[in-house]
Chains A and B, each alone.
Chain A
Amino acid sequence: MTAGGKEPNLTPFIDLFSVLTCFLLVAFAWTRLDAMNVAADDSSAVAAAGPRLTLHLLPEKVIAAADGEEREIPNGPGGALDAEGLGEVLAAWREKHPDRRDVVLAPDGQAPYGAMIRLIDLLNAADFAVGVNPH
């Protein structure tokens, strides 16, 4: 184990690995988290005046308001959002207004925060830009 022998000198390797390990341990992502970007301004999400789709999130249902009409989408069993019912509303809206990809979300204060996030997730998955009206 001497320098110049048959085996390589491992001491520099160990030094390097020690420094690398310490550095990477400090920068280690112990819990992976994601983010969901939302505009906290209903007017900025809606690009221009014209027809708009507004979703009112209530604790037990979602009310979709568009073109002067309202449609209720009751929550499914266990209080989960009815993704199918919402998908139908979005498909109908897209058929009528293929150039509008924006939705205004007006959540009720009694609804849980998680329900709003899951609703935005469904809208993002359907390729809609969401603006949340905090008032």
Chain B
Amino acid sequence: MNGRVVRGASAPPIQVPGYHPRPRYDLARTRRRIEEKRASRRSFALTLIPMVDLFAVLVITLLMNFTTEGEAYFRPRDMGLPRIATGQALRSRPLLSVIGGKVSLESAEETGIDGEDLRTPDLPLLRETLRRMKASIVATGAGAAAAEINVQADENAPLDDVKLVMRVLKEEGWTGLNFIVAPPDSP
């Protein structure tokens, strides 16, 4: 778009200015950089494929460790469970814990107890809660499950405590005991 020369009859030739006067400084480079920046902004896109890959790996990992058997139990940090080789899958049952001379009971169906002293004569609170839980489970129609309970205790706990609890369970009609154990390869 250079200027073109218009010649008149007597007048000196008129120099028509071009599209833009020649810049004194090199603005072309600056303009190009501005244009490039603007173009890069326009074409910005979040690459979602790595995110989908990550989610897929996460979902596969979680699926491999998925459980429907209700293992989300409270387990004290300092409780060391015995490790054995012939364990079976843990089923969702009321959980009875023997910890430090106290007994706790929790269940999805009924309000449990938190730490009744095992030296309490005849353990009335535990007996009452066990009866209530049994009635609640029987009412749901789960026949065999009404006699089963999960029991956890520290591997160094004296058997006197566990035997006392077992006697109470037997007298209240809970004869199927599932002792919670750790598999041999557990960390």
Contacts and interface: CB of A to CB of B under 8 A. Distances in A.
Tell me which of B155, B178, B179, B182 has the highest count of chain A C-beta atoms within 10 A of its own C-beta. Answer: B179
B156 A21 contact: no
B82 A35 contact: no
Interface in B166-187: 166-167, 169-170, 174-183, 186
Contacts of A113: 82, 98, 153-159, 161-162
B59 A24 contact: yes
B129 to A, nearest CB: 17
Contacts of B51: 14
Interface stretch (B27-35, B86-94, B108-116): B86-94
A36 B181 contact: yes
Interface in B37-60: 45, 48-49, 51-52, 55-56, 58-59
Contact of B182 (A33, A40, A57, A135): A33
Interface string A15-41: 001101100110111011111111111
B36 interface: no
Nearest to B98: A113
A40 B51 CA distance: 52
25 contacts: A17-B56, A20-B59, A21-B55, A28-B65, A31-B71, A31-B186, A33-B180, A34-B84, A34-B87, A34-B89, A34-B181, A35-B180, A36-B88, A37-B178, A38-B178, A38-B179, A40-B174, A40-B176, A110-B159, A112-B155, A112-B158, A113-B98, A113-B156, A117-B155, A125-B86
User: 8 smallest A-B Cβ distances: which pairs?
Assistant: A34-B87, A114-B155, A24-B62, A109-B160, A17-B55, A134-B166, A121-B84, A35-B178
